[in-house]
Amino acid sequence: MDYINITLPEISNVAAQIRNYNANLDEILAYVNKNMNDLNSVWKSEGEEVLIQRFQKFATKFIEESEVIESYAKFLDKTVADYDSLESTIVSNASNFE
């Protein structure tokens, strides 16, 4: 039978990596958003307005997904904390049997 062996430090590391990737994506979105706003200062037309509106709609969804990703990282952190606490309780209770 095959087993999956995952350690708590590995889970913490994955949560940190997820946050790092998410932060990088947020920085890219901010950069593109700045460029879109800069475009607004040099290009005035109906097409520009449509482009800006569509980008803002995309950016809103992107931000929502970023929040979901952060929630997942928090879930992993909480899982590690809960398992670590449970392990400490088990060790403490087991020592009472000595």
15 lies in a domain?
A: yes
* Domain encompassing residue 33: 8-76
Q: Is residue 96 part of a domain?
A: no
In a domain, 33, yes or no: yes
Measured CA to CA, the distance from residue 80 to residue 83 in angstroms comes to 5
Residue 51 lies in a domain: yes
Residue 98 pLDDT class (50, 70, 90 cuts):
low
Residue by residue, DSSP assigns 11-50 as HHHHHHHHHHHHHHHHHHHHHHHHHHHHHHHH--SHHHHH
Q: Decide if 85 is inside a domain.
A: no
CB 8 within 8 A of CB 80: yes
Residue 67 lies in a domain: yes
What is the model's pLDDT at position 77?
Answer: 97
Give tens-digit pLDDT for 32-70.
999 888 887 787 888 888 888 898 999 999 999 999 999
The whole-model pTM stands at 0.77
Query: What is the count of structural domains for the chain?
Result: 1
CATH number at residue 67: 1.10.287.1060
Structure tokens, 54: 């569509």
> What average pLDDT score do residues 8-29 get?
96
